[in-house]
Amino acid sequence: MKKLLTLSIAAVAVVVTGFVQPAAAETLRVGMECTYAPFNFRNADGDLDGYDVDVARAVGGLIGADLEFVCQKWDGMIPALLANKFDIVVASMSITDKRLEKMDFSDTYRISVGRLVGKKNAGWKLFDSADKPIPANFKGLKVGLERATTYSDWFENELPGAEVVLYDSNEALYLDLVNGRTDMIMTNPMKAHLRFLSKEDGAGFEFVSPQVDERKYFGIGVGIGLRQGNDALKARMNKALKTLTDDGWLESYALKYFPFAIH
Amino acid sequence: MEAITGWWDDFFWGSLVVVELFFVALFLTILFGLIGAGSKLSGNKTAKAIANGYTIIFRGTPEILVLLLFYFGSAITMTAIAQIFDPTIKFVDIPPFWAGSLAIALIIGSYATETFRGAFLGVDPGQIEASRALGVSNLQTFIYVRIPAMWRLALPPFGNHMLSLIKDTALVAIIGLEETLFVAEQAIGTTGKPFTMYILVGAIYLGFSTIITLSVMRLEKYANKHLEVTR
Amino acid sequence: MSFDIALIIDSIPKMLMGIGLTFQLLFLSLALGTALGVMLLILRISGRWYLSWPTMIYIYIFRGTPILVQIFIIYYGLPQLEFVRDGIFWPILREPFGCAIVALTLNTGAYLSEIFRGGVLGVDRGLKEAGSALGLSVTDRFIYITAPIAIRLCLPAYSNDVVSLMKSTALASTITLLDMMGIARTIVAETYAPYEVFISVMVIYLIITWAIQRTFGWIEKRMSRHVRQ
């Protein structure tokens, strides 16, 4: 009996300490995937790092808000935002019309394109000279895509007959491509280059398509997501983003990882 | 193996989250199990019906589904309930730690309900009669006679429930809680070594299961001490 | 709070398309797992330490770690090892379905072997002695006397395990398989309506659980006809 009592008291203590919130000026909870190097990931020291993280911290600093980062699996990102799990999304989320129906976005802080990655010298002719995909040449090939991305959207609408394999996380795309479970993947070319093609596990692979940047699916770029009706916050963030762009900060963040600016 | 260096402390913090989740969920599980068993054993028809519904739903739904439902749905349900009381409230939310603990506790609690119910039925009615005859109140009988007697019978199957509990905590990675599996995924993102990381997670959980199994064996010995044959 | 009924009606047929895969996962791993469970049981009670010890370690590992971790190790982890990619099992392990079956089978086999062991231990010693007094060999005793009774004794625990197995099939959605859970998550990702979709798929799972429990209840009744109530 005594043991149970002590255990219960200990449990309640844990509970109560969990509820204590530090007093803050204004705290914004930021949702991100945390496994999407080099945009938002956790480095070996256990800290969140990446282009998105830098942008988020800079914006937070400029608008005078404390930030609390919340890790969220990508396919639940928008439902989680709508369910008030966090206030803004800084996770390389493209601004698309489909998403604008349910949520709002700040101005862009990065361009948004897609590209297919596959085995070197596979000899596929997947796109014609006008950079349009040739559906027939995709037959029999397995394509790895992450659920709820602009890439899966593009595929669903442009190549409905293709054999698509859906993943929960970005990392899994590369793992399975190397293991031969998929023939190609479609993802962000900057990340593909950095995380994969320039490393040893990407040695036998290359880009097998031109860049795809149809506005309809990829939008005008990547922006900070927030719930609809938060126009004051949106205005403040846009102002901050403009400062970051004009003062060259965005470029400096990009140069940390890429040999070029990405906004 | 060198891939893990730099990540040891992250796995440590992740393991701590597992421990926190375990104890919180354990406390709630015992609570739900006792309430559920009590409802099923009471004469009250409504209580019985609700308890039956509870066990049916939570024993028959996949754990991953319960977790996802709680994570996303809890905000909506809580908000709806809160708005009944105060229409100006826009959003009430449960942090993922609580959504996870609550979900796991409800799931294991439904199994515990059955276990406790069986254990309560196994309590020697003679002891209850004796305690009543001595004028002990119903509540005191419950606390000082029923529960100690029932606990001894419930311990072995409840030990299994505790094992299920700790293993279910791995699922909270799906709702973004940074316990060991989630840390492993982040580590894989930077090191590209899935086998190493997942085996490490497996070893951590195996360690926890072992601790629980040994503790349960200790508790069983303690609970049966009065029944041991002494020379 | 708006409850989108139209969405539910729209999603249910899509999710039922996943039911085929759910059942395939369930029945195949159940069959293989039962076979594995029997094999492990025989090894475990063989009395020879070099057979029972490895078996006990196997059971300990597979019951002591979360099944989700086991699934990830098999699907994402094994390919990291060169000899797996070049080995004979690769065609199976390459496919997410194969990996799921392997993981579910190995896991449920461990649990079932313990359940079978419980059933075997519950058989009255007197019956076994009577069997040997009648001159039956060890194997015959096992097949004709122990097994039928053990099966009846472990039916409740077995049916529980079948339900657990069914619930574990939902984890296949984490390795790209489009079973009911996988389709549900895809729909949620596209419509941003987790509540309605998840509740619908929950109802479907509950119906399946109910069907499994009813079936086993019926089997139990039939097998216990001779037992005096």
- Higher pLDDT residue, B92 or C140? C140
> Which secondary-structure segment (H or E) carries A177?
helix A170-178
Contact A175 C76 (CB under 8 A): yes
Round to whole Å and give the CA distance between A112 and C180.
32
Task: Tell me the Ramachandran region of residue A64: left when phi exceeds 0, alpha when psi lies from -120 to 50, beta otherwise.
Answer: left
CB contacts, 8 Å: B178 with chain A: 71
Q: Tell me the residues of chain C between 51 and 80 that have a Cβ less than 8 Å away from chain B.
A: 61, 63-70, 72-73, 76-80
Task: Give dist(CA B199, CA B208) in Å, integer.
Answer: 14
Let me know if residue C228 belongs to a domain: no
Q: Taking Cα atoms as reference points, which of B219, B176, B35 lies closest to residue A30?
A: B176
Q: For chain A, what's the residue count?
A: 263
Closest among C110, C93, C115 to C102, alpha carbons compared: C93
Assess whether pLDDT exceeds 70 at residue C26: yes
| A15 pLDDT more than 60 | no
Angle of helix C194-223 versus helix B45-60 axis, rounded to 10: 100
β-pair partners for A110? A222
The chains in contact with chain A, meaning 3 or more Cβ pairs closer than 8 Å, are B, C
Would you say residue B104 has pLDDT above 50? yes
Count CA atoms within 13 Å of residue C166 on its CB side: 23
Bridge pairing between strands A222-226 and A104-110? antiparallel
Among C3, C19, C56, C65, the strongest candidate for a mutation testing the B interface, having the largest count of B CBs within 10 A, is C65
CB-based contacts of C68, cutoff 8 Å, min separation 6: B170, B171, B173, B181, C171, C174
Helix (H, G, I), strand (E, B) or coil at C89: coil
Domains of chain B plus CATH, in order, are 2-227 (1.10.3720.10)
Q: How many domains does chain C have?
A: 1
| Nearest residue of A to residue B95, measured between CA atoms | A85
DSSP for C12-69?
A: HHHHHTTHHHHHHHHHHHHHHHHHHHHHHHHHHTSS-HHHHHHHHHHHHHHHHS-HHH
Beta bridge partners of B66: none
A178 to C79: CB separation less than 8 angstroms, yes or no: yes
Q: Which of C1, C198, C209 sits opposite B69 (nearest CB)?
A: C198
Cβ distance of A76 and C189 shorter than 8 Å: yes
Q: Identify the pLDDT of residue B205.
A: 95
Q: How would residue C110 be classed by pLDDT, with cut points 50, 70 and 90?
A: very high
The answer to whether the Cβ–Cβ distance between B23 and A10 falls below 8 Å is: yes
Cα(C75)–Cα(C194) distance, integer angstroms: 27
- Alpha carbon of A36 to those of A28, A82, A192, A259, B105: distances in Å? 21, 22, 11, 19, 32
Q: Which residues of B fall within a CB distance of 8 Å from A7?
A: 23, 27
Flag whether residue A194 sits within 8 Å of chain B, measured between CB atoms: no
Residues of C in contact with B194 (CB under 8 A): 72, 76-77, 79-80
Q: What is the length of chain B?
A: 231
Q: For a pLDDT cut of 70, what percent of chain A falls above it? A: 90
Chain B residues with CB under 8 Å of A1 CB are 143, 147-148
For residue C103, is it within any domain?
A: yes
pLDDT (mean) for C187-199: 84
d(CA A103, CA A79): 10
Looking at the complex, does the CB of residue B8 fall below 8 Å from at least one CB of chain C? no
Paired strand residues for A184: A118, A143
Distance CA A207, CA A193 (A): 9
Q: Is the CB of B3 inside 8 Å of chain A's CB atoms?
A: no
pLDDT at B175: 81
pLDDT band, residue A24 (cuts 50/70/90):
very low
Strand A66-71: give its sheet, edge to edge.
Answer: A66-71, A27-32, A88-94, A222-226, A104-110
Instruction: Give CA torsion, residues A155, A159, A162, A165, to 10 deg.
Output: 10
Touching B (3+ Cβ pairs <8 A), the chains are: A, C
Say yes or no to pLDDT of A209 above 50. Answer: yes
B123-181 pLDDT per residue, tens: 888 888 888 888 888 888 888 888 888 888 888 889 889 999 999 999 988 887 888 88
Query: Looking at residue C170, which CATH number applies to its domain?
Result: 1.10.3720.10
Domains defined for chain A, CATH in brackets: 26-112+220-255 (3.40.190.10), 115-217 (3.40.190.10)
Cα–Cα dist A129/C27, whole Å: 49
CA distance A241 to A227: 18
B202 to chain A, closest Cα gap in Å: 19
- The band of C223, judged by pLDDT with boundaries at 50, 70 and 90, is confident
User: Does the beta carbon of B9 lie under 8 angstroms from any beta carbon of chain A?
Assistant: yes
Contact (CB<8Å) A44/B6: yes
| pLDDT tens digits, A70-100 | 888 888 888 888 878 889 999 888 888 888 8
Percentage, residues of chain B above pLDDT 90 = 29
> How far is it, in rounded angstroms, from Cα C36 to Cα C30?
10
C206 in contact with B, Cβ within 8 Å: yes
Contact list in A for residue C185 (CB cut-off 8 A) is 75, 147
DSSP C1-23: ----HHHHHHHHHHHHTTHHHHH
Give how far Cα B74 sits from Cα of A226, B66, B69, B94, C77, Å: 20, 11, 7, 7, 34
- Inter-chain touch A8–B189, beta carbons under 8 Å: no
A and B: number of Cβ contacts within 8 A: 82
Q: Does B81 touch chain C (CB under 8 A)?
A: no
**Whole-prediction pTM:** 0.83
C-alpha distance from A44 to closest chain B C-alpha (Å): 5
Instruction: Return phi, psi of residue B190, to 5°.
Output: -100, -30
Task: Judge whether residue B63 has pLDDT over 90.
Answer: yes
Contacts of C25 (CB under 8 A, 6+ apart): C97, C100, C101, C104, C169, C172, C177, C179
Residues spanned by the domain of C76:
5-223
Mean pLDDT of C202-227: 88
Q: Is residue C131 part of a domain?
A: yes
- The predicted pLDDT at position B70 comes to 85
Q: Please, is B224 exposed, middle or buried when counting C-beta atoms within 10 Å of its C-beta (0-12, 13-18, 19+)?
A: exposed
B86 pLDDT exceeds 70? Answer: no
Q: At B33, is the pLDDT very low, low, confident or very high (cuts 50, 70, 90)? A: very high
Report the residue from A18, A37, A199 with minimal CB separation from B189.
A37
Distance from C-alpha of A252 to C-alpha of A258, rounded to nearest angstrom: 10
Structure tokens at B86: 């105060």
List the single range of A205-209, C144-148, C179-183, C223-227 with lowest mean pLDDT. C223-227
A64 touches chain B (CB under 8 A): no
Q: Flag whether residue B26 sits within 8 Å of chain A, measured between CB atoms.
A: yes
Q: Which residue from A153, A192, A149 is spatially nearest to A168, judged by alpha carbons?
A: A149
Closest CB to A79: pick one of C182, C186, C192: C192
pLDDT at B229: 66
Q: In chain C, which residues touch A (CB < 8 A)?
A: 76, 79, 85, 94-96, 174, 176, 178, 182, 185-186, 188-190, 192-194
Q: Do residue C85 and residue A179 have CB atoms under 8 angstroms apart?
A: yes
From chain B, the residues in CB contact with C73 under 8 A are: 195, 198-199, 202
Mutate to test the interface with C, among A100, A146, A154, A166 (most CBs of C within 10 A): A166
Q: Is C167 exposed, middle or buried (0-12, 13-18, 19+ CB in 10 A)?
A: buried
Q: Can you name the residues that pair with A142 across neighbouring β-strands? A: A163
* Closest to B146 measured CA to CA, from B124, B178, B118: B124
Pick from C63, C73, C205: CB nearest B65: C205
pLDDT band of residue A22 (cuts 50, 70, 90) is very low
Query: How many residues are given for chain C?
Result: 229
How far is the C-alpha of C108 from the C-alpha of C86, rounded, in Å?
27
Cβ <8 Å between A83 and B93 = yes
- Inter-chain CB proximity C194 and B72 less than 8 Å: yes
Report chain A residues whose CB lies below 8 A from the CB of C182.
166
Longest C-alpha distance within chain B, in Å? 71
Cα–Cα distance measured from residue B11 to residue B7, given in angstroms and rounded to the nearest whole number: 6
Contacts of B209 in chain C (CB under 8 A): 63-65
Nearest CA in chain B to A195: B190
